[in-house]
């Protein structure tokens, strides 16, 4: 895979001064009617254990040495509740870590001080439809939306981020993102490494110009393939480096990148010991030579530095994999289109751990972690008739179930409340002569004309309750799949699953407790904004 920097230079110089303010496409003028629903207000009957104010507004933060970067960011203020609810991350544009406990009742007063519409979504949390950050509830500048919900989730790491239709990618890119950590009794009883021995990593990629300002480059290719930045940020800073003691740590990782998929591996070949995924702990630790982490997914890792010499270091890398971008005539398209110096799928460091002090009291890895009630296909309401999420892709037309995002709910997207459903996620069969794009989508003809066949991996995310992965079947035998297939951890509870071309992923998904409309979409945010999003109606 060759490095491509020619286009980057040209891009940087052509953008010039305009780059000082991030060049973003105009938002909000899309096909969807702009609904005006009065922002939800606080209710008197809701007894909040935690009450906080969350503000989204422009600001600045250091990313590189020198001038600060203009960003949009979350800031929070605790009005009532435990003092450790908010942990701000020093020198970072990221929102504070929000710490909640299962069973707590949470009120969040979201104030929009951005120059455009905004709504925040609590990725992975099982909350009522009104509290889920549906794009229909986006509020205008100056307005406040009050969320009230109970934490029903298991302990785990979750993610808050914007969700206004057609503006999610740009708002996240400008800096609006944060981690949430839920704990519960079951997890606390394990005594996993905590305090200074628990590290949270929010991983993103960004491109900055010479004046340290964000560039959201890539034009039409960015919409098609997603944005790939040329620097990796951990918790909002580049060149992440941590001093650790020679003992075990708990490392909690959230991929908050717009599109970039990571293949986590330790540089010395040590396997990755996985404690948990999106929806919390696994039943028991599992090891993998590497672990894939797509946008929206989380990973809980036992990072053991015990027995390592003071002065040694261990690097967490993203290692090489294939199929990160579609191919054309055998060549990866990235080379011709991306200004990135860090091509997706290449090998690069994410964070370096320097063993700085010796200790002898490292905790032992627990043999078992948690109980997960396994659902069975026989228990599903639609056994024998699985529902489908069909991925179809053509240039500028990435769709789910053959439709862009709209208000119509198709019969296969409606489910009775309190039911368990089997859903198969797969790539739609080509109906014409050209791979996945025959006859599909608004721009199908254009794609045909360009002689392109797209075949990308898509991280499919479903709002609402966490699901279980039943099977992951793969037809074919390409080297691209061989380079990722050992990196999936499918045994835990999930809200996002990476689906490769040729794969059919079967999930069991509960639709419990709450009626209403819940989104499902590709978590490559550029795809989501392009319309690779639909809704389930729970009735």
**Residue numbers at the binding site for ligand C2O (CB under 6 A):** 121, 123, 159, 161, 163, 296, 461, 463, 519, 521, 523
Nearer to ligand C2O, 370 or 532 (CB): 532
Q: What letter would DSSP give residue 68?
A: P
Question: What CA–CA distance (Å, rounded) separates 511 from 537?
Answer: 10
- The correct pick among 179, 275, 324, 524 for binding Cu ion (CB under 5 A) is 524
The DSSP bridge partners found for residue 277 are 280
Question: What CA–CA distance (Å, rounded) separates 24 from 227?
Answer: 12
CB 299 to ligand C2O: min, Å:
15
CB 380 to Cu ion: min, Å:
22
Write out the two tokens for 498: 């990476």
Q: How many residues bind Cu ion (CB under 5 A)?
A: 6
Nearer to Cu ion, 98 or 245 (CB): 98
Nearer to ligand C2O, 102 or 163 (CB): 163
Other Cβ atoms within 10 Å of 91 Cβ, number: 12
What does 326 interact with, of Cu ion, ligand C2O, none (CB < 5 to 8 A by kind)?
A: none
Residue number of the CB atom closest to ligand C2O: 123
Left (φ > 0), alpha (ψ -120 to 50) or beta: where does 450 sit? alpha
CB 530 to Cu ion: min, Å:
9
Nearer to ligand C2O, 180 or 394 (CB): 180
Q: Is 160 exposed, middle or buried (0-12, 13-18, 19+ CB in 10 A)?
A: buried
Q: Which stretch binds Cu ion (CB under 5 A): 150-158, 243-251, 508-516, 521-529?
A: 521-529
Q: Which stretch binds Cu ion (CB under 5 A): 17-25, 55-63, 343-351, 520-528?
A: 520-528
Dihedral angle over CA of 79, 234, 160, 456, nearest 10: 180
Q: Which stretch binds Cu ion (CB under 5 A): 210-218, 287-295, 347-355, 463-471?
A: 463-471
Q: What are the two backbone dihedrals, phi and then psi, of residue 136, each rounded to the nearest 5 degrees?
A: -60, -20
Write out the two tokens for 3: 């490095």
Can you spell out the DSSP letters for 449-514? HTT------EEEEE-SS-EEEEEEEE-S--HHHHTTGGG---SSEESEEEE-TTEEEEEEEEE-S-
CB 92 to Cu ion: min, Å:
22
CB 528 to Cu ion: min, Å:
8
CB 525 to ligand C2O: min, Å:
8
Give 238's Cβ-side CA count (13 Å radius).
16
What number of helices (H) and strands (E) belong to the chain?
8, 35
What does 163 interact with, of ligand C2O, Cu ion, none (CB < 5 to 8 A by kind)?
A: ligand C2O
CB 452 to ligand C2O: min, Å:
28
- The correct pick among 19, 493, 522, 530 for binding Cu ion (CB under 5 A) is 522
3-state secondary structure 189-205: CCCCCCHHHEEEEEEEE
Nearer to ligand C2O, 174 or 463 (CB): 463
Residues 78 and 100: beta-carbon distance below 8 Å: no
Question: What CA–CA distance (Å, rounded) separates 187 from 72?
Answer: 34
Residue 509 touches Cu ion, criterion: CB under 5 A: no
CB 228 to Cu ion: min, Å:
13
3-class DSSP state of 522: strand
Nearer to ligand C2O, 317 or 517 (CB): 517
What does 522 interact with, of ligand C2O, Cu ion, none (CB < 5 to 8 A by kind)?
A: Cu ion
Nearer to ligand C2O, 8 or 527 (CB): 527
3-class DSSP state of 247: coil
Q: Which stretch binds Cu ion (CB under 5 A): 36-44, 188-196, 443-451, 525-533?
A: 525-533
Q: What are the two backbone dihedrals, phi and then psi, of residue 84, each rounded to the nearest 5 degrees?
A: -85, 15
Nearer to ligand C2O, 107 or 521 (CB): 521
- The correct pick among 111, 221, 427, 527 for binding Cu ion (CB under 5 A) is 527
CB 322 to ligand C2O: min, Å:
26
Nearer to ligand C2O, 280 or 326 (CB): 280
Nearer to ligand C2O, 102 or 527 (CB): 527
Sign of the four-CA dihedral 294, 295, 298, 301: positive
Residues 143 and 118: beta-carbon distance below 8 Å: no
Residues 379 and 421: beta-carbon distance below 8 Å: no
Write out the two tokens for 33: 């009617």
- The correct pick among 458, 472, 509, 534 for binding Cu ion (CB under 5 A) is 458
CB 194 to Cu ion: min, Å:
26
Q: Contact residues for Cu ion (CB under 5 A)?
A: 123, 458, 463, 522, 524, 527
């Amino acid at each position: 895979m060759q490095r491509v920097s020619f286009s980057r230079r040209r891009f940087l110089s052509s953008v010039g001064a305009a780059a000082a303010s991030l060049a973003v496409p105009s938002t909000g003028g899309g096909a969807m009617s702009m609904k005006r629903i009065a922002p939800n207000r606080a209710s008197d009957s809701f007894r909040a254990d935690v009450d906080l104010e969350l503000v989204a507004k422009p600001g600045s933060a250091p990313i590189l040495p020198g001038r600060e970067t203009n960003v949009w960011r979350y800031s929070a203020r605790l009005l009532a509740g435990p003092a450790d609810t908010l942990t701000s991350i020093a020198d970072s544009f990221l929102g504070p870590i929000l710490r909640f406990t299962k069973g707590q009742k949470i009120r969040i007063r979201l104030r929009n001080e951005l120059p455009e519409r905004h709504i925040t979504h609590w990725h992975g949390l099982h909350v009522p439809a009104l509290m889920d950050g549906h794009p229909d509830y986006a509020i205008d500048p100056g307005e406040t939306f009050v969320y009230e919900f109970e934490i029903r989730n298991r302990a785990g790491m979750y993610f808050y981020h914007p969700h206004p239709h057609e503006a999610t990618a740009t708002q996240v890119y400008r800096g609006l993102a944060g981690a949430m950590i839920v704990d519960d009794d079951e997890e606390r009883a394990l005594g996993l490494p905590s305090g200074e021995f628990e590290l949270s990593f929010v991983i993103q990629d960004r491109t900055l110009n010479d004046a340290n300002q964000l560039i959201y480059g890539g034009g039409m290719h960015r919409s098609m393939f997603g944005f790939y930045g040329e620097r990796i940020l951990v918790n909002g800073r580049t060149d992440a480096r941590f001093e650790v003691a020679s003992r075990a740590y708990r490392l909690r990782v959230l991929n908050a990148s717009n599109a970039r998929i990571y293949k986590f591996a330790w540089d010395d070949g040590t396997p990755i010991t996985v404690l948990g995924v999106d929806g919390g702990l696994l039943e028991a630790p599992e090891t993998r030579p590497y672990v894939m982490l797509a946008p929206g997914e989380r990973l809980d890792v036992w990072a053991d530095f015990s027995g390592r010499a003071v002065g040694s270091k261990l690097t967490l890398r993203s290692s090489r994999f294939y199929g990160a971008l579609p191919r054309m005539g055998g060549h990866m398209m990235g080379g011709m289109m991306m200004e990135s110096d860090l091509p997706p799928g290449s090998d690069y460091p994410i964070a370096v751990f320097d063993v700085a002090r010796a200790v002898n009291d490292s905790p032992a890895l627990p043999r078992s972690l948690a109980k997960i009630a396994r659902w069975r296909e026989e228990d599903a309401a639609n056994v024998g008739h699985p529902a489908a999420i069909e991925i179809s892709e053509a240039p500028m037309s990435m769709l789910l179930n053959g439709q862009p995002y709209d208000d119509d709910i198709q019969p296969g997207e409606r489910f009775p409340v309190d039911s368990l459903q089997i859903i198969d996620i797969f790539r739609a069969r080509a109906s014409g002569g050209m791979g996945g794009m025959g006859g599909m989508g608004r721009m199908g003809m254009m794609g045909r004309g360009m002689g392109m066949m797209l075949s990308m991996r898509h991280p499919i995310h479903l709002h609402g309750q966490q699901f279980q992965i039943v099977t992951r079947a793969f037809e074919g035998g390409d080297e691209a799949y061989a380079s990722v297939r050992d990196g999936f951890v499918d045994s835990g509870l999930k809200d996002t699953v990476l689906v490769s071309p040729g794969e059919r992923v079967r999930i069991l998904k509960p639709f419990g407790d709450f009626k209403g409309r819940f989104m499902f979409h590709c978590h490559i945010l550029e795809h989501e904004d392009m319309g690779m999003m639909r809704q389930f109606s729970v009735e």
